[in-house]
Amino acid sequence: MRVTQSMTNRNYLSHLNSALERKNASERKINSTRKYNRASEDPIAAAKAMRVRKAIANTDHYLDNLDTAEQIYYAADTAIFNMVDIIDTIAEKVTYAANGTQGPTEEEILATTIETFADELVRTLNIDVAERRLFGGVYNGMDVFRIEKGLDGKSVVKYNEVDINSLNDYNEFPFSESSFTDIGIGMMVDEETGRIDPQSALPVTMNGAWVTGCGTDEDGYPKNIIQLTLDVAQVIREGDKIKAMDYLNKIRESQTSVSIAHAEIGNKEQYIEYNKNRLTTNKENLLEQQNNLEGTDMGAESTNWKTLEAIYNMSLQMATSVIPMTIFDFLQ
């Protein structure tokens, strides 16, 4: 087979272009810090990287959910902490009223003051957080707790439009269903009921009747701390010190229930912190995997580029030996 000059030229230019493309490809990897810019360049690594990217996106979603839940539980913790302080003050006022020698005017002042604390409890429980009523269950309308005057003139506490004394089970009040958020622990839904398994997600709604108590006890006293406060104010106004002392004991019992709810919310805050740390660590590991699959090893690639540049420059120098000089070269 006869090798002509044109064939030699074509082979040389083909190898020169290949060397240039390899050098340019290496430069692109260095400039973009990516091993490849198209999935077709490394389909297996690209497929693995897509799975890692999806896992990172899911992790970010779970972390966003936990951030929202953290706001909710922090607000609930603060609200109940304030409630405990208010209840302490109410107990002090009732103790003073039950053991003192006040006249009708002083008793009226004490009763009015205690009713003011009941109003403060209501305001504390009616706060909004993350565009929802914090203690309203899934209710998101107007105030979840409200004090109304009954037909007999007695102040009555209503929760989600229902008399707080009328139900002993806080789950029976309207809008008492729980709303959950997915935090990446495998949220499961019951196929028959369509309800989320409480163990597989984090609840982000709180039942105000659970926090404050509801219904009446075996002695006929309210279990709700707001209703107890209103009732004891009326007892003090009437000058019944013995009954005021009975109410004081019930207030202390109710305060214990509020403290238990406070502790439960504190446990949830720790659970949120644990899961945030878990997901943050997972994300760091996923980002490292992503970098290994997609990122350029700058040290190795820089060395490779230097080698390819040297090969390309040598190929250019070979042109004088491979391609003969033309009349135009002489003219220059």
CATH of domain 89-282: 1.20.1330.10
Residues in a beta bridge with 145? 159
| 40-44, 167-171, 211-215: segment of lowest average pLDDT | 40-44
Q: Provide the token pair at 206.
A: 């709180």
| 39-48, 97-106, 112-121, 146-155: segment of lowest average pLDDT | 39-48
Q: How confident is the model at residue 332 (pLDDT cuts 50, 70, 90)?
A: very low
How high is the pLDDT of residue 296? 64
Q: Find the mean pLDDT for residues 117-138.
A: 90
Residue 327 has pLDDT above 60, yes or no: no
Tens digits of residue pLDDT in 238-287? 999 999 999 999 999 999 999 999 999 999 999 999 999 999 999 999 98
Residue 322 has pLDDT above 80, yes or no: no
How high is the pLDDT of residue 208? 94
Note whether 170 and 210 are within 8 A (CB). yes
Q: Roughly what angle, to the nearest 10 degrees, separates helices 298-317 and 5-32?
A: 160
Residue 325 has pLDDT above 90, yes or no: no
| 6-10, 29-33, 204-208: segment of lowest average pLDDT | 29-33
| 30-39, 69-78, 126-135, 142-151: segment of lowest average pLDDT | 30-39
What 3 state SS string does the chain have? CCCCHHHHHHHHHHHHHHHHHHHHHHHHHHHHCECCCCHHHCHHHHHHHHHHHHHHHHHHHHHHHHHHHHHHHHHHHHHHHHHHHHHHHHHHHHHHHHHCCCCHHHHHHHHHHHHHHHHHHHHHHCCEECCEECCECCCCCCCCEEEEECCCCCEEEEECCEECCCCCCHHHCCCCCCCEECCCCCCCECCCCCCECHHHCEECCCEHHHHHCCCECCCCCECCHHHHHHHHHHHHHCCCHHHHHHHHHHHHHHHHHHHHHHHHHHHHHHHHHHHHHHHHHHHHHHHHHHHHHHECCHHHHHHHHHHHHHHHHHHHHCHHHHCCCCHHHHHC
Tens digits of residue pLDDT in 148-168? 987 778 899 999 999 999 999
Residue 86 has pLDDT above 70, yes or no: yes
Distance CA 208, CA 187 (A): 25
Q: How confident is the model at residue 102 (pLDDT cuts 50, 70, 90)?
A: confident
How high is the pLDDT of residue 100? 80
Q: Provide the token pair at 132.
A: 């929802």
Tens digits of residue pLDDT in 189-235? 888 777 888 889 999 999 999 999 999 999 999 999 999 999 999 99
Strands 180-181 and 202-203: antiparallel
**90: closest CA among 115, 109, 108?**
115
| 17-26, 109-118, 163-172: segment of lowest average pLDDT | 17-26
Q: How confident is the model at residue 331 (pLDDT cuts 50, 70, 90)?
A: very low
Sheet with 155-159: strands ordered across? 145-149, 155-159, 162-163
What does the domain layout of the chain look like in residue ranges?
5-33+296-331, 89-282
pTM of the prediction? 0.78
Q: Using the CB atoms, write b or e for 306-332: b if 16+ within 10 Å.
A: eebeebbeebeeeeeeeeeeeeeeeee
Q: How many CB atoms are closer than 10 A to CB 300? A: 9
Q: How confident is the model at residue 46 (pLDDT cuts 50, 70, 90)?
A: confident
Q: Higher confidence at residue 293 or residue 56? A: 56
Mean of the per-residue pLDDT values for the chain?
A: 84
How high is the pLDDT of residue 141? 74
